[in-house]
Chain A
Amino acid sequence: METQPLPSEKELVARLKNNDVALFDQVVKEYHSSMYAVAYAIAGSSIADEVVQEAWISAINAIHKFEGRSALKSWLIRITANEAKSRLRKESRSVSLEAVNENWATDTRFTQRGHWAEGNPEWDMSSPDELLSADELKDCLKKHIDRLPDNQQQILNLRDIGGLDMETICNILQITASNARVLLHRGRDKVQQVIAKFQRTGEC
């Protein structure tokens, strides 16, 4: 895996315009994952790969016009989102806030009065690098994220993995900002719980 950090934005863009293939290679590896998350969330898994390739090609064709008014990553994500939106999946997408509230009522982490039933212990692994170095944990998280309700999974992909801003996300998913935050929080909370359990028990 590439560990060398990318140069500053200004240098990055200048070198990309100047046919620096090695740097381009690094940029693709660095941002591909976020772009894929956005494509996946908007257009679905069957065409996500295609959408990302198309987005890269659009970006390559437009790089000489890129003025650096936003970060390169935001620009790439915007291109991906637009590409994906033009091929939006047709499945219905109801916001299931009811299910969300039902789960909330029966959350076993808390007593009836809403106190932590067994406290909330400190994590041994806490930095992103530590957390991401545990393959077992990552497999476990993937499994649980896959099982999240569609909307929660989409928002987690768009916001936290893809880094898209909330306003754009609300436009894409056609939901209100407050609903988006509820769904996002449920997704994050689930991920937090999976990590917490894994650290406490070593099990998924």
Chain B
Amino acid sequence: MLSCKHIVDLGTDYLDQELGFWKKTEMKMHLMICRHCRRYMKQLKQTIAMLSRWQLKQPTQEQLEQLKSKYQQTVSEG
């Protein structure tokens, strides 16, 4: 039987569909009866969604201006 700790450990494999049939089935059954692990899986998805939206680093004004003038110049020349 998979423990909660195992379930937590397999989170990414489960989401990426990388588990074999039996592991996946075991995990599904565990998630049906364990709300803590269900929450963990929900939170893992929320974590990933947050990371993908996180604007960690914005361009500086100087970088932006440099790129814009390069863009204008290049694209208008065709």
Contact = CB atoms under 8 A, between A and B. Distances in A.
Best-buried of A110, A188, A195 by chain B (most CB within 10 Å): A188
B47 A36 contact: no
Contact of B11 (A131, A161, A189): A189
Contacts of B76: 19
**Chain B binding surface, main DSSP class:** helix
Contact of A191 (B47, B56, B57, B75): B47
B44 A60 contact: no
B67 A53 contact: yes
Interface residues of A, number: 59
A192 to B, nearest CB: 5
A26 to B, nearest CB: 11
Interface in A100-125: 104, 107, 109-110, 113-116, 119-123
Contacts of A163: 52
**Chain A binding surface, main DSSP class:** helix
Contacts, number: 141
Contacts of A32: 55, 57-59
Contact of A185 (B12, B53, B67): B12
B50 A53 contact: no
A156 B64 CA distance: 26
Nearest to B49: A128
A81 B15 CA distance: 25
Interface in A125-174: 126-129, 131-132, 138, 142, 156, 160-161, 163, 166
Given A116-B36, A181-B12, A28 B52 contact: no
Contacts of A120: 36-37, 39-40, 43
Interface of A: 1, 16-19, 21, 24-25, 28-29, 32-33, 36-37, 49, 52-53, 56-57, 60-61, 63-64, 104, 107, 109-110, 113-116, 119-123, 126-129, 131-132, 138, 142, 156, 160-161, 163, 166, 178, 181, 184-185, 188-189, 191-192, 195-196
Interface of B: 3-6, 8-9, 11-13, 16, 18, 36-37, 39-40, 42-44, 46-59, 63-64, 66-68, 70-72, 74-76, 78
8 contacts: A33-B55, A113-B3, A126-B46, A138-B54, A160-B52, A161-B54, A184-B12, A189-B11
